[in-house]
Amino acid sequence: MSRPRDPRTGAPAPGLRRRVAALLQSGPFHTLELAERALGLRGPPAALSSAVFSLLGDDARFQVDARGIWSLAPGAGIPGPALSTLSYAVVDVETTGGAWRRGDRVTEVAVVPVTGGVIRDGLGTLVNPGRRIPPKIQGLTGITDPMVAGAPPFEGVAPQVEAALHGRIFVAHNVQFDWGFIRTELLNALGAAPELPLLCTVRLGRFLIPGLRRYNLDALTRHFGIPVHQRHRAYGDALATARLLLHLLQEAEAQGIADLPALEAALQRRSAPRSVRSPLR
């Protein structure tokens, strides 16, 4: 996949595309005018034209006619906030099993906020599921029945979880699994669950880093050299996923994906199948 770059610096181009879109809001511009006014370039016309076409040619928001006049495509507008500036809640849950629809419950939950490209201190707590944890799950996570016996039920932590999610994009490694449990637990505890944008780091990895043999958390963190502490514990996995998210967002912007709608559209076009992760991930 080609990666649009700033013709002057070689840096990722989303910011320049945003600048071009803002300029074209005022009306059409010739290729050479765009090169000078939006890109700050001067030089031979052929070189300037090459720079503009390299930057904008594969972006459906921009159109150019036979005279070299650029304009915004119908329905196109200025890109929204850059991906790295948005607020995310990176979530991981440990559970008694893989099916919230059959009554499996959360045994541990973590929410790690990411704001403006910075990972903040998050929420992490054991949860009393009100049922036995199967031995196989205890062996995987290290979370035992005695450990959760004195922990609060989800009802006791639901307000904090809801507050940690408020106004953020919900991110998880196989988001349908974690969101399914969180939504079910919030509905049971509070009678309502927030409507949030969902972002899956498995799908992001498949789209942005093609060619890996596997896309589980171990494979992707190894690919980026991300340390993982306390694997299969909620806070350790959520923190590793937050670090992974930052790498993936950087990769998305390097590939010219300017904002969240553009990212969602790109993922939709790829039509990656949605999988539901088991607790033995």
Report residues of the chain scoring pLDDT below 50. 1-12, 272-280
The number of angstroms, rounded, from the C-alpha of 260 to the middle of its chain's C-alpha atoms is: 9
Alpha carbon distance 157, 49 (integer Å): 58
* CATH number of the domain to which 155 belongs: 3.30.420.10
The answer to whether 161 and 188 have CB atoms below 8 angstroms apart is no
Alpha carbon dihedral 103, 107, 108, 109, in 10-degree steps, equals 20
Instruction: Look at phi and psi of residue 232 and say left if phi exceeds 0, alpha if psi is from -120 to 50, else beta.
Output: left
| Beta carbons within 10 angstroms of residue 211's beta carbon | 5
pLDDT of residue 26: 82
* CATH number of the domain to which 32 belongs: 1.10.10
Is residue 168 assigned to a domain? yes
Residues 65 and 127 both lie in one domain: no
Is residue 1 assigned to a domain? no
The number of angstroms, rounded, from the C-alpha of 133 to the middle of its chain's C-alpha atoms is: 31
pLDDT of residue 37: 87
Residues 123 and 162 both lie in one domain: yes
Residues 89 and 216 both lie in one domain: yes
Residues 65 and 89 both lie in one domain: no
Residues 87 and 127 both lie in one domain: yes
Long-range contacts (CB closer than 8 Å, 24 or more residues apart) made by 150-155: 151/125, 151/126, 151/127, 152/125, 152/127, 152/128, 153/127, 153/128, 153/129, 154/105, 154/106, 154/109, 154/127, 154/129, 154/185, 154/188, 154/189, 155/188, 155/189
Q: How many domains does the chain have?
A: 2
Task: Provide the token pair at 6.
Answer: 């700033």
pLDDT of residue 11: 46
Residues 65 and 203 both lie in one domain: no
Is residue 105 assigned to a domain? yes
Is the pTM higher than 0.85? The answer reads no
The answer to whether 173 and 244 have CB atoms below 8 angstroms apart is yes
Residues 57 and 131 both lie in one domain: no
Range of the structural domain that residue 43 is part of: 14-72
pLDDT of residue 74: 79
pLDDT digits (tens, 9 = 90+) for 138-178: 999 999 999 999 999 999 999 999 999 999 999 999 999 99
Final residue belonging to a domain, choices 72, 99, 115: 72
pLDDT of residue 276: 45
pLDDT of residue 277: 46
Active site residue ranges: 232
DSSP string, 102-145: GT--EEEEEEEEEETTEE---EEEE-B-SSPPPHHHHHHH---H
Task: Please give the angle made by the CA atoms of 57, 14 and 16, to the nearest 5 degrees.
Answer: 75
pLDDT of residue 272: 43
Is residue 278 assigned to a domain? no
